[in-house]
Structure 1
Amino acid sequence: MKKSDFHFDLPPELIAQEPLAERSASRLLVVPPEAPPYADRHVRDLPEYLRAGDLLVFNDTRVIPARLFGTKDTGGRVEILLERLVGGHEVLAQVGASKSPKPGGRITLDEGTAIEVLGREGEFYRLRFLTEEPLEKLLLRAGRMPLPPYIQREAGQADLERYQTLFARHTGAVAAPTAGLHFDQPLLAALEARGVQFGHVTLHVGAGTFQPMRVDSIHEHVMHSEWLNVGAGLCQQVARTRAAGGRVVAVGTTVVRALETAARGGELKPYAGDTNIFIFPGHHIRTVDALVTNFHLPESTLMMLVSAFAGRERVLAAYAHAVREKYRFFSYGDAMLLFPEAAA
């Protein structure tokens, strides 16, 4: 299987550059278990497709203002994109500069904080912030929100709130779990009134989620690692939901990756640590009964995960419909509600 098997043509004007004013006003393409027709709805209509006793699982990671700008001790300009917080005042980061920084070198941020370059770890640099100020507080003051590369504008003040889910609690992501961006308080209240339950996992999304696949055969691709936590409470919620006949509905591909990682031994168990799980057709997704997800980049690992869940041809046909109907694509775009194909 090749990455070109997941290609589709996308007019550039369909790539959303701004979020809608109302989160749940985004469109929702419902792909039913049986053959089309599809339903062209809005995210606010989601309660109509769920039942009392269903469990919606969200990713409660919180995006950090991970873009920083500064100057090397040699005078060259530097752009830093944090990949993950390692602990204390150390981070792994991508560093953009005309010449690669060397271990022991210093970078001074535009706001004045000094950073020491500790060394290289694969494609990332290990950096230490030379300050006693809590790192999260410093980033809120000195960093910018790391909007995806296909958004052709600088992050503004509004993105600090809008590129964050309402249930973001655990700091560490450098990209939003974008399916969760569609949920606002009125929608959450409507779902609760419907009898839908809520659960949470944490997966700190890394910048690697935007990196293109560099090999043609998907079997040769190695995923970047991300940290996740699936707690005992969530595992118990899933077990109770399934025992009562309810469905587990993942809000976003990161939730699927987290649950499938935690279920690698055959059953869902608590797990905290790194994952580089790569889900593509041939992988049987056992932990999820339905999926709310945004529209993803052509030939991306996210397209492959969605295809593993709902079938490659079904997904590509749904994407073709979305293009014809001018849905908005990617992080600030519209969403899909996918069900697995009905058994013949």
Structure 2
Amino acid sequence: MHPKHLSIAEFTYELPNERIAEYPVNPRDQSKLLCWENGLISEDIYANISDHLPENSLLIFNNTKVVEARLLFQKPTGGVIEIFCLEPHEQYTDITTALQQTGTVWWHCLVGGASKWKPGQVLQKNITTATGELLLEARYVEKKTGSFIIELSWRPADKSFAELLHLAGAIPLPPYIKRKAESPDNETYQTIYAKMDGSVAAPTAGLHFTNDIFAKLRSKNINTAYVTLHVGAGTFKPVKADVLEEHEMHAEFIDVSIETIRQLAETVSHHQVIPVGTTSMRTIESLYWLGVKASLGEPVNGLSQWEVYDLPVQDMDAAEALKQLIRWMELNKLQQLITKTQIIIAPGYKFRIAKGLVTNFHQPQSTLLLLIAALAGKNWKTIYQYALDHNFRFLSYGDGCLMLADRDKEF
């Protein structure tokens, strides 16, 4: 069956509110780890994850960094307007460029209390910094489907928008965490290897990893590599349509170096590639299809939701597809591949690069759960029921699992 014909009702389960983690485990590597391989389930903690990974495997991490994307403005009448910065306006080529803007920037935003804010009305916020006062202004430009376009400007104008958010904004905890962000969240809702500003949600599978874990990985000859996928708020968007074809998948920016693609190409034929998180999974699988497009002479300018299921080449060797992408980058003198992917991975999808996954437990009827079901098949129900029955904590600050495919299985 083509994934677009799937009924979302088949991908639900009962998640009690008390099983949703409001706070992380401290230290972070003491989170529980469910291990699933060849239909068997065992338990451990993340501190020991290296004991469950095959030697010489390659773990792929998403090094995106969560930005302080929530801005609160108080109107002269006392009402509060909340602006949640989703993604940059189309005039910017990528998130990094937009975050480097000084003085003014246009952004797609969600607005809490939008009915109290008239188009053209300017909101102001004074911020005290170590070097003096800073004035931030927000102007309502236009209402779009699913977001508002907001012009944000600040004086003095010497700081970048990334610096401005750090000074004026707050960490955007997921909507299912029913508390306000607290100062420890600035650290705990960030992976220890976060580097590239741009996400409005953490790649939560990586929150469990510590320097001690990385040392253990090295001692077992388990390699690591980094990609960047800037996580958008769409990752929390539930599938409200009855049939998946009617759901619009969120598109997200990816940024991958040619060195990382070369490392993948050298590894994929002989050793297991295991992404840490669904965002890393989407990124490396997208690289395969971008390589296929390069081999067909098609523009390598991103991936739409369903096109990977319809490309005329479906069986290219993974290493060859990556080599095709490398050739295209070399021809175009690119050291970094920066584009958008809207790929949706659901049951019926054939994995080309990933041979497993490290991930948290996801919401019912979400595209993230669909990705899990694509990897585990109907076993996802057994895995999730085990987690519910054995006191695993769910969602962003919760526990997680290591899912390894059958070593001899062809996806």
* TM-score computed with the length of structure 2 as normaliser: 0.79
Structure 1 residues 125-134 or 17-26, which shifts more?
A: 125-134
Counterpart residue number, 1:329: 394
Does the Cα contact within 8 Å between 2:268 and 2:353 map onto a contact in 1?
no
Change (3 A) 1:105 1:261: farther
Structure 1 residues 123-132 or 275-284, which shifts more?
A: 123-132
Task: Give the SS at the match of 1:99.
Answer: helix
Letter of the structure 2 residue corresponding to residue 249 of structure 1:
I
Matched, 1:216 2:242: yes
Structure 1 residues 293-302 or 281-290, which shifts more?
A: 281-290
Pick one of 351, 355, 358 that aligns with 1:289: 355
Counterpart residue number, 1:53: 56
* TM-score computed with the length of structure 1 as normaliser: 0.93
Does the Cα contact within 8 Å between 1:57 and 1:255 map onto a contact in 2?
yes
Letter of the structure 2 residue corresponding to residue 154 of structure 1:
K
Pick one of 361, 384, 406 that aligns with 1:319: 384
Task: Give the SS at the match of 2:348.
Answer: coil
Distance across 2 between alignment mates of 1:203 and 1:167: 14
Distance across 1 between alignment mates of 2:28 and 2:88: 29
Pick one of 126, 133, 139 that aligns with 1:116: 139
What does residue range 1-344 of structure 1 map to in structure 2 within 5 Å? 1-32=6-37, 34-36=38-40, 38-71=41-74, 76-86=79-89, 87=98, 88=101, 89-99=105-115, 101-109=117-125, 111=127, 112-131=135-154, 132=157, 133-243=159-269, 245-264=270-289, 265=292, 266=316, 267-268=321-322, 269=325, 271-311=337-377, 313-341=378-406, 343=409
Q: Deviations over 1:244-270 (max 9, x none)?
A: x21101000001111122221252336
Structure 1 residues 42-51 or 82-91, which shifts more?
A: 82-91
Q: Deviations over 1:216-263 (max 9, x none)?
A: 1112211122111122111111111124x2110100000111112222
Structure 1 residues 16-25 or 97-106, which shifts more?
A: 97-106
Superposition RMSD in Å = 1.9
Task: Give the SS at the match of 1:47.
Answer: helix
Counterpart residue number, 2:332: none
Letter of the structure 2 residue corresponding to residue 213 of structure 1:
V
**Per-residue deviation at 1:100?**
6.4
| Unaligned runs of at least 5 residues, structure 1 | none
Task: Give the SS at the match of 2:172.
Answer: coil
Q: Deviations over 1:167-210 (max 9, x none)?
A: 11110000000001010110111111111111111011011111
**Per-residue deviation at 1:291?**
0.4
Distance across 2 between alignment mates of 1:123 and 1:73: 27
| Unaligned runs of at least 5 residues, structure 2 | 1-5, 90-97, 128-134, 293-315, 327-336
